[in-house]
């Protein structure tokens, strides 16, 4: 299984493509927009240059990684020879269901279909295909080339053989795979998102300010970054989507998104990607805020 198709060239998709390509796999990176593909490859190149500058890879390894990646705007062409497809599109259930219906029709009957979803049911996604036993979750962490963890999520019908294959493949990528079962939020986000939501509630209730909340968690709990800063890096819209999935799945009010989070997303303040979230990432304020975040 040396041909891997990756759907989506955004932050997660290009990171997944980078990781597979650097591990010697041939990667078909697929997106509906050539501009998105160009940005994705540019990001991969930039990250490889960073590894090169730190002497973690050689120039030959950088070039070999880039040579292993081919881009496509046509899904059918991109997945034609894939033994594994990893979907890394936006965290939207309707979009993912459509993609998996299309993948089921476009790929060989033995092709494993994986999703990088961070919260949506693998069983629900698998149900729109004719091969639910071959559908599995591969939840990579961001930034993918650096973070070791991969949550391997079994759907209700995912076979033991497919699970073992993906666990072993993840190890071949230099990752540490952890098998979990299919419940909203899985493990990582079921624990992380309520913490982030509670930090937002703490701000919303006026208990403390942004810097103060993050400083308490960094210095008091030894977190590498505060929960509000982390939410900005994840994307506030992504945090909201995950909380909504868990709230809907468990029907438990403890997962209800904080009104402040809802309003910020409505206002387009999504974090790093929009230039403003709990912190200001605009050029005029970047140096000041970065200094505070990492103080």
Say if residue 230 is in the same domain as residue 88. no
Is the preceding omega at residue 143 within 30 degrees of 0, hence cis?
yes
Distance, C-alpha 197 to centroid of its chain: 19
Which 3 state secondary structure label does DSSP give 30?
strand
Angstrom distance (rounded) from CA 145 to CA 13 = 11
CATH number assigned to the domain comprising residue 16: 3.40.50.720
- The yes-or-no answer on residue 118 being catalytic is yes
- The yes-or-no answer on residue 59 being catalytic is no
Say if residue 31 is in the same domain as residue 135. yes
Catalytic residue among 118, 121, 197, 289: 118
Residue 295 lies inside a defined structural domain of this protein: no
Please say whether the beta carbons of 184 and 190 come within 8 A. yes
| Residues annotated within a binding site | 8-13, 31, 91, 96, 118, 142, 273
pLDDT along the chain (295 residues), means of 10: 95 97 98 97 97 96 98 97 96 95 97 96 98 98 96 98 98 98 95 98 98 98 97 96 95 97 98 95 67 56
Domain membership of residue 163 as a residue range: 3-181
Please say whether the beta carbons of 72 and 78 come within 8 A. yes
Say if residue 216 is in the same domain as residue 255. yes
CATH number assigned to the domain comprising residue 237: 1.10.1040.10
Angstrom distance (rounded) from CA 99 to CA 108 = 15
| Residues annotated within a binding site for NAD(+) | 8-13, 31, 91, 96, 118, 142, 273
Nearest to 65 by CA among 26, 34, 117, 100: 26
Q: Say what the pLDDT of residue 283 is.
A: 73
- The yes-or-no answer on residue 139 being catalytic is yes
Angstrom distance (rounded) from CA 200 to CA 217 = 13
Overall pTM surpassing 0.85 (yes/no):
yes
Angstrom distance (rounded) from CA 278 to CA 237 = 13
Residue 163, burial from CB neighbour count under 10 angstroms (0-12, 13-18, 19+): middle
- The yes-or-no answer on residue 151 being catalytic is yes
Number of domains the chain is built from: 2
Nearest to 225 by CA among 205, 252, 196, 245: 196
């Amino acid at each position: 299984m040396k041909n891997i198709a990756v759907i989506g060239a955004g932050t997660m998709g290009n990171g997944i493509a980078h990781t597979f390509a650097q591990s010697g796999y041939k990667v078909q990176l697929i997106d509906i927009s050539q501009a998105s593909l160009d940005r994705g490859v540019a990001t991969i190149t930039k990250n490889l240059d960073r590894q090169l500058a730190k002497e973690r890879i050689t120039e030959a390894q950088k070039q070999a990684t880039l040579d292993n990646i081919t881009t496509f705007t046509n899904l059918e062409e991109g997945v034609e020879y894939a033994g594994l497809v990893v979907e890394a599109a936006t965290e939207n259930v309707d979009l993912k269901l459509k993609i998996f219906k299309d993948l089921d029709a476009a790929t060989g009957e033995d092709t494993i279909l994986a999703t990088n979803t961070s919260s949506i049911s693998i069983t629900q996604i698998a149900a729109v295909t004719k091969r639910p036993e071959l559908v599995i979750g591969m939840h990579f962490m961001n930034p993918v080339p650096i973070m070791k963890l991969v949550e391997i999520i079994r759907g209700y019908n995912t076979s033991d053989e497919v699970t073992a294959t993906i666990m072993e493949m993840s190890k071949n990528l230099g990752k540490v795979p952890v098998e979990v079962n299919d419940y909203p939020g899985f493990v990582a986000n079921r624990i992380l998102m309520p913490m982030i939501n509670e930090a937002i509630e703490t701000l919303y209730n006026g208990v403390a300010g942004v810097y103060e909340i993050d400083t308490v968690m960094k210095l008091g709990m030894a977190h590498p970054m505060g929960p509000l800063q982390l939410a900005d890096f994840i994307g506030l819209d992504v945090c909201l989507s995950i909380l909504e999935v868990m709230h809907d799945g468990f029907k438990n009010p403890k997962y209800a998104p904080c009104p402040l989070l809802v309003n910020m997303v409505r206002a387009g303040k999504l974090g790093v990607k929009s230039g403003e979230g709990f912190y200001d990432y605009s050029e005029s304020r970047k140096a000041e805020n970065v200094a505070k975040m990492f103080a």
